[in-house]
With several copies, the nearest count.
Chain A
C-alpha cells in the first residue's frame, strides 16, 4: 500500500505501546491510520485537555457543553442556540482564499451536526502589519474574500468580528470563524450512534485526494508540485454546502435522521470513530461504497481524505426512502456505506473484505501528554518598560492613532459580507459594540468576538481576563446580558515550556473571570504550532472569546452613535493608567511592554448591570465601551457615527492610582469603562441608579456642535471637527486595501 510510510508518523512510541496494549495485537496500517487521525492533537486535545478542565462549563441554560461539535444553549419557548468556533490558520497562510472559505464551511457543518441550522457567522482575523507588508495585505484581502464568497453564497450572514494587526502574525495569520445556529429543542440530534441497525449514509461532495496531507500540513513545503496527485489545498464549494444546509434543514424538520456528523480533520476515520465511540454502538462500513472523485484511490486515501462539504447521516431503514428523495431533490450525491451494529467495533471493509476492526475501547481518549511549563523571562523585561515622554501635540497623535489599522473602521471588511441575509440582523456591524440578531422565538441575542494578542503577550493572564471583560462590555453596551462564551486558544508549539505556560495562563484568565461572574464556557478550540518554520518564532498568545448575550426585549437594543445634542456624556468606571499593550504604546511609540490593565470581574458585572438598568429605565441613549485607543477613540467613534460633536473635560474622570498624564487619560485602555449618552432631562434618575449599583461615574461633557473638543483643566488638548475625524477613522483601512497593491 502506497501510504504505509506516511501513516502513523505522528504518534509517539508510548502512544503506539498504549494502542498495542489496548488492542492486544499489532494494528494493521489502516487501523493505525484511524488511531492516528483520532489521536492527533487536533482531535484529541491530548496536550490541552487537562488545562481546559479549569473552565466552568455548566449553567442553567447549558444543554450541551464542550465535547460535541457545538455547544447548545436553551433560549426558552422550545428553542435552542448552538455555537462553535474554529480556526483555519495553516491552510489560510498558504491559500488565504480557499483556507478561509473552507474554514467557514467547516464551522457551519459543526452547527448542522447537532441538528440546528446556521443563522450567523463571526470572524476574528490576525495578520502582520499591513502598512508595511504587501504579503499581509495580500493575505487579508484574500481571507476576507474567501469568507465573503463562502458565507454570502450559503446565505448565512456574517455579522460581527474583529481584526488585529501585529508583526508576530506576518507568517502565521490567524483566521477564526464562529457560527451560531438555532433550532427547535425537539429537533436536536447529537452526533453519536446510539442504536444498531441504522444505515450510514455519506452525502455531499465527492471524496477525492484533496486535503490528504492535512494532518502533517504545517511541515509541507509551500511549492507542492503540480504533478503531485494529492494536495494540501482544498477547493471550497459553497454550492454543495448550501444544498446540504437546505436538505438537512428539511430533514431535521421531518425528523428523518437519527444523527448527523460532519467530516472534518481526519475525514471518515475521525467521523466514524467518534460517532461510534460517543454513542457506544459499533459501525460496519465498506469504504469502497464511497462516491469518489478519482477512481484509483486506496482505502486509506478514502478513509483519511479531508474533502470538504460532506456529512455522514445515520438513518433508520424505514426512513431511507424519504431521505434519498430529499437528497435527490437537492441534487446531492450520496452513498450508503454501511450500518450501525450491536458489536462494539468500528469495522472497515473494502469491497466486502474486512480490512480493519477496532474495538471502541481502543478508540477512546488518547493518553494525555504532560507538558513542561515555565514562565518566560522576557515578561519581566516587558513589564518594566519605562513610559515614553508625553508628546507635545496630542491632537496630532490622536489623528495618527485614528488611522492605525487596528483602530480605523473595519467597514472595508464587513461591507464585503452579506450581513443582512436571513432578515434577522437587528443591529448591523459597526452600529454597536456587538451585533444583534432576532432568534426564531422572537427573542434577541447579541454576539461578538474579541481578542487582544498584544496584551496577552505582555501578560497572558491579565490579557485573557481583559478580553473577556471587553467582550462582556461589548455585549452590555448593546443592551445584552452575557450568557455564554466560546474560547479559542492559539499558541505556538506546546512542547516549548514558555509557550505552554502562556497557554495555561490564558486559560486560567478566562476560567477565573467566567467563574467569578457565573458565565459558562460552552465550547472552544485549541490551535497549537502557530510558528514560523524558518525562525521558529511563535505567534503572540492569542486567545479569542466569542460571547453571546441575550436581550430582555426590543427596547434594550442600544447603539453607539450619539443621538441628540445637549445630552450628557458620562463615563462609567474608573480610569486606570496601565498602558501595556495599548494601541497608543504600540502604534505611536512602538513600545511593546508596560503593565497590562488588571480587570476585576465583579466590578465589571456591577457595571454591566448598571448599564442595562439605565437602558431599561430609558435614560440611556447610546453606549460604547472603552477599548483599543482608549477614551479618546471611543468618544470619536460615538461622535462620527452620530454626526454630532461633543465637549469633554478629562480632569473630571474618576481615576485610581497615581495621577495620570494627559496621554494616559486620553489613550489608556485600562479600567473597565463604558461611555454613555444620558438624557439630560433625566440625569437625576440615572445618577441615583448608578449610586445604587455602586458604579463610579462622572459627567465629563456634553453632546452638540460639530467639533470634538477635549480639554484638560480647561486647556484644549484635542480639537477637531467631526468631519476631520471621520476622514481619518473611516477611510484609513479602506485606503490601504484599495485596489491590489
Chain B
C-alpha cells in the first residue's frame, strides 16, 4: 500500500500538549509576574500565577484516539518534557 492510500480517509486533528512545572515546585516566572507586575500595578484579586508551555500539533490520522496517542508517545519518548520536574497533559481539540 502506498502512503497515499494509507492516508485515505484520514483527517487533520489539532492536538495540544501542555507542559508545566509540577505543582509542588516553585514557579519563579509566575511569582515575578504576580509580584512585580500585577501587584505593583495595583491589580487585586489574582492569587496565583503559574506558567506553562503549550505545543500545538496538527496531526493527520484516522481517528481522534490515534492522534492523541501519537502525541502522547512523542511527548514521553522524545522527551519533550522532563518528567522529573514537569508534567505533560495531552488533549485533542477540534478537527481542523
Whether B24 pairs with A739 at a CB distance below 8 angstroms is no
CB distance from A546 to the nearest CB of B (A): 29
Whether a CB of chain B sits under 8 angstroms from the CB of A296 is: no
User: Would B26 and A293 count as touching, CB distance under 8 A?
Assistant: yes
Stretch in B1-9, B11-19, B28-36, B61-69 with 4+ CB within 8 Å of A:
B28-36
Assess A741 versus B26: contact at CB under 8 Å? Given A94-B84, A233-B84, A235-B85: no
- B26: min CB distance to chain A, Å: 5
Residues of B within 8 A of A98 (CB): 85
Contact between B25 and A231, CB atoms less than 8 A apart: yes
Question: Once the chains bind, are B36 and A95 in contact (CB under 8 Å)?
Answer: no
* Contact residues in B for A228 (Cβ distance below 8 Å): 24
| Inter-subunit contact A223/B83 (CB<8 Å) | yes
Q: Are A740 and B33 in contact (CB under 8 A)?
A: yes
A95→B41 CA distance, assembly (Å): 23
A209 to B37, CA, bound (A): 26
Contact B32 A233 (CB under 8 A): no
Return chain B residues, CB-CB under 8 Å to A222. 83-84
The answer on a CB contact under 8 Å between A739 and B26 is no
User: Which chain B residue lies CB-closest to A236?
Assistant: B28
Closest chain-B Cβ to A93's Cβ sits at a distance in Å of 10
Closest to A294 in B: B24
Q: Distance in Å from the Cβ of A139 to the closest Cβ of chain B?
A: 11
Interface string of B60-96 (1 = CB under 8 A from A): 0000000000000000000100111101000000000
Q: How far is the CA of A235 from the CA of B82 in the complex (A)?
A: 13
- The B-contacting residues of A in range 708-741, CB under 8 angstroms, are 738-741
How many whole Å from B10's CB to the nearest CB in chain A? Answer: 22
Q: Which residues of B have CB within 8 Å of A741?
A: 36-37, 40-41
Q: Does A529 contact B (CB under 8 A)?
A: no
The CB with the most chain A CB atoms within 10 A, among B25, B83, B85, is that of B85
Interface centre among B24, B35, B37 (most CB of A within 10 A): B24
A210 CA / B28 CA spacing, docked (Å): 13
Interface pair B84/A95, CB less than 8 Å apart: yes
Which of chain A's residues have a CB closer than 8 A to the CB of B28? 235-237, 239-240
Interface extent on B, as a size class?
20 to 34
Contact B35 A224 (CB under 8 A): no
Given contacts A738-B36, A741-B40, A209 and B24 within 8 Å (CB-CB): yes
B16 to chain A, nearest CB (A): 19
Is A138 positioned at the interface, with any CB of B under 8 Å from its CB?
A: yes
Query: Which B residues lie within 8 Å of A405 (CB)?
Result: none
Provide the bound-state CA to CA distance between A660 and B60, in Å: 62
In this complex, the member of B21, B26, B36, B79 whose beta carbon has the largest number of chain A beta carbons within 10 angstroms is B26
What residues of B have a CB within 8 angstroms of the CB of A94 in the complex?
84
Contact of A97 with B by CB under 8 A: yes
- Residues in A neighbouring B41, C-beta threshold 8 A: 741
Contacts of B50 in A (CB 8 A): none
- Bin the interface of chain A by size: 20 to 34
Instruction: Output the least CB separation between A436 and chain B (Å).
Output: 34
Rounded to whole angstroms, the CA-CA distance of A677 and B5 in the bound complex is 67
Q: Report Cα–Cα, A232/B85, bound state, in Å.
A: 9
B35 — which chain A residues lie within 8 A by C-beta?
A: 739
Q: How far does the Cβ of B52 sit from chain A's closest Cβ, in whole Å?
A: 14
Contact B82 A226 (CB under 8 A): no
Interface membership of B23, Cβ < 8 A: yes
Q: Pick the contact of B22 from A96, A138, A231 — CB < 8 Å?
A: A231
Residues on A with beta carbons closer than 8 Å to the beta carbon of B26 = 206, 208, 210, 235, 237, 293
State whether A210 and B25 are in contact (beta carbons under 8 Å apart), knowing that A138-B79, A739-B32 are contacts in the complex: yes
Interface residues of A in 124-182 (CB under 8 A from B): 138, 142
Interface: A389 (CB within 8 A): no
Which A residues touch B40, using CB under 8 A? 739, 741
Please tell me if A229 contacts chain B, counting CB pairs below 8 Å.
yes
Are B25 and A235 in contact (CB-based, < 8 A)?
A: yes
User: Which of B22, B27, B37, B85 contacts A740, CB < 8 Å?
Assistant: B37
Chain A residues 198-256 with CB under 8 Å of chain B are: 206, 208-210, 222-224, 226, 228-233, 235-237, 239-240
Evaluate contact between A97 and B25: CB separation under 8 angstroms: no
Residues of B within 8 A of A231 (CB): 22, 24-25
Separation of A223 and B27 alpha carbons in the complex (Å): 20
A741 to B24, CA, bound (A): 26
Closest B residue to A220 using CB positions? B84
Point out the residues of chain B lying under 8 angstroms from A232, CB to CB. 84
A685 CB to nearest chain B CB (Å):
54
How many angstroms between the C-alpha atoms of A235 and B25 in the bound complex? 7
Contact B87 A226 (CB under 8 A): yes
A227 nearest in chain B by CB position: B24
CA distance A420 to B16 in the complex (A): 39
Closest to A97 in B: B82
Instruction: List, in ascending order, chain B residues with CB within 8 A of A226's CB.
Output: 22-24, 87
Contact B33 A233 (CB under 8 A): no
**Chain A residues positioned under 8 Å from B32 (CB to CB):** 239, 739-740
**Inter-chain contacts of A208 with B (CB < 8 A):** 26
Give bound CA distance, A738 to B35, whole Å.
11
Q: Who on chain B is nearest to A738 by CB?
A: B36
* B91 vs chain A, min Cβ distance (A): 18
Report A-chain residues with C-beta under 8 Å of the C-beta of B85: 95, 97-98, 233, 235
Return B46 CB to nearest CB of chain A, in Å: 14
- A94 closest partner in B (C-beta): B84
**In the complex, A235 Cα to B23 Cα: how many Å?**
12
Q: How far is the CA of A210 from the CA of B41 in the complex (A)?
A: 30
Give the residues in chain B near A223, CB-CB below 8 Å: 83-84
Cα(A247)–Cα(B37), bound, Å: 22
CA distance A237 to B28 in the complex (A): 6
- Shortest distance from the beta carbon of B6 to any chain A beta carbon, whole Å: 24
Which listed residue (A224, A230, A293, A739) contacts B36, Cβ 8 A?
A739
Are B24 and A229 closer than 8 Å at their CB atoms? yes
Residue of A with least CB distance to B39: A741
- Taking CB atoms, residues of chain B closer than 8 Å to A237 are 26, 28
Measured CB to CB, the closest approach of chain A to B84, in angstroms, equals 5
Which residues of chain A (237-278) have a CB below 8 Å from chain B? 237, 239-240
Within 8 A of B (CB), among A280-318: 293
List A contacts of B87 (CB < 8 A): 226
Q: Which of A210, A224, A293, A740 contacts B84 (CB 8 A)?
A: A224
Closest to A222 in B: B84
User: Quick one: closest B residue to A309, CB to CB?
Assistant: B28
Shortest beta-carbon distance from B29 to chain A in Å: 9
Instruction: Enumerate 23 A-B pairs (CB-CB under 8 Å) in ascending A order.
Output: A95-B84, A95-B85, A97-B82, A98-B85, A209-B24, A210-B25, A210-B26, A226-B23, A226-B24, A229-B24, A233-B84, A235-B26, A235-B27, A235-B28, A235-B85, A237-B26, A237-B28, A293-B26, A738-B36, A739-B32, A739-B37, A739-B40, A741-B40
List 20 additional A-B contacts (Cβ < 8 Å) besides A138-B79, A231-B24.
A96-B82, A97-B82, A142-B82, A222-B83, A222-B84, A223-B83, A226-B24, A226-B87, A229-B24, A233-B25, A233-B84, A235-B25, A235-B27, A235-B28, A236-B28, A739-B36, A739-B40, A740-B32, A740-B33, A740-B36
Q: Give B residues with C-beta under 8 Å from A.
A: 21-28, 32-33, 35-37, 40-41, 79, 82-85, 87
The 5 closest A-B pairs by CB, nearest first: A739-B36, A740-B37, A237-B28, A740-B36, A741-B40
